[in-house]
Amino acid sequence: MSANRKLSLKGMPREVLVELLKAIGKERYRADQVVRWLYRHRVAEIGRMTNLSKACREHLESLACIPRLVCLKEQAAGDGTRKFLFQLEDGETVETVLIPEKDRLTLCLSTQVGCRMGCKFCLTGQSGFTRQLTAGEIVDQVICVVDRIAPQQAARGPVNNIVLMGMGEPLDNLDEVVTALEILMYNDGLQFSSRRITLSTCGLAPMLAELGRRVEVSLAISLNATTNELRSRLMPVNRRYDLETLLAACRRFPLGGRRRITFEYILFAGLNDSLEDARRLVRLLGNIPSKINLIPFNEHPDLPEFKKPSPERIEAFLNFLLERNLTVMTRRSKGAEIRAACGQLRSAAASSGKKAPLPAGRNS
């Protein structure tokens, strides 16, 4: 930490917080109190932590702060999807999406500013990589959205599902992501169940074992092709970790209880939507506890080479899988009109190549 820069309490692991408080002569249980203030009460100022002594609060304020994302823009689609553009302290921006479903609200979080995986069908990947998000910046997306929708929660219910499939590749930022996941699941904090959190990866196979060792969450694999030739064209990561390597890592991934791995399969017209592709998909996943999420491609003018299959083609692919007793879901695209659908996230800063200007006042 530089002489002029304070530590961020938000996103700080509990044990690090214990050591910080110990250094100023405070007991271990004080860390639990701070955690509750940060994530249950979601205070914005250390001075409001009223069960800490005034001297403790002043000492803590000299060392640390509670940063807060700034919401620069919020958009709503006709289907109820809401997209938030958040500004970080350095002026970079990320997007977060709230997706309403029949019995729940799902929040899609970003884990990086941009992405370096370079998937050809993803606008985030086409924008390049700027930097990793900190654990605090990942967690703060949840806090800011929860606070913004609080007036409507009585009617729509709370945010109860978290998916890490916004901007960035979560396994490319594993340490910060794991810390953020642990904080999201604190019993005295935000209290998300591990079964309500899903991490989606494009296939950084060596990191899957480390993820499974360190934290228990649901896993989704962005598959999208049944041959190495096509997957390498669509997803450059496949040149390092091919299908055989990736699926072997999936077979070794620890699945607690009756969990299964979700395989996300974006359907592209004329590329991967044939019955032969479906047949290969059945063979690839045959001995993996799995469910398949079929996602018809969300067409976008910046990606004219990719098209959505016809409804008949989608139906034939789906029926082929169902007839072979696979568990399959089709995801209806939401938020496409505000560029909030799968693969369409790209922040204003990333689109323009410039940082968003810092506003005169902070709000969230």
Q: Which residues of 275-297 are buried (b: 16+ CB within 10 A; e: fewer)?
A: eebbebbbebbeebebebbbbbb
> What are the tokens at 159?
């945010």
The burial class, CB within 10 Å (0-12 / 13-18 / 19+), for 5 is exposed
Whether residue 342 lies in the annotated active site: yes
Out of 144, 202, 250, 342, pick the active-site residue: 342
Based on C-alpha coordinates, what's the Rg of the chain?
A: 21
Pairwise CA distance, residues 247 & 221, whole Å: 10
Is 182 assigned a catalytic role?
Answer: no
Q: Kindly report the backbone phi and psi dihedral angles of residue 206, in degrees, each rounded to the nearest multiple of 5, phi listed first.
A: -65, -25
User: Alpha carbon 191 to chain centroid distance?
Assistant: 17
Q: Which of 131, 132, 139, 235 is nearest to 174 (CA)?
A: 132
Residue 158 CB partners (closer than 8 Å, separation 6+): 105, 146
Q: What angle is formed at CA 146 by the lines to CA 36 and CA 300, rounded to 5 degrees?
A: 140
Report which of 67, 111, 71, 74 is spatially closest to residue 87, judged by C-alpha positions.
71
| Torsion of Cα atoms, 244 then 249 then 252 then 257, to 10° | -110
Q: Indicate which residue of 56, 92, 95, 250 is catalytic.
A: 95
What is each CA distance from 186 to 13, 32, 150, 174, 277, in whole angstroms? 11, 10, 20, 18, 42
Return the DSSP state at 240: T
Residue 346 and residue 123 in contact, taking contact as beta carbons nearer than 8 Å: yes
What are the catalytic residues? 95, 342
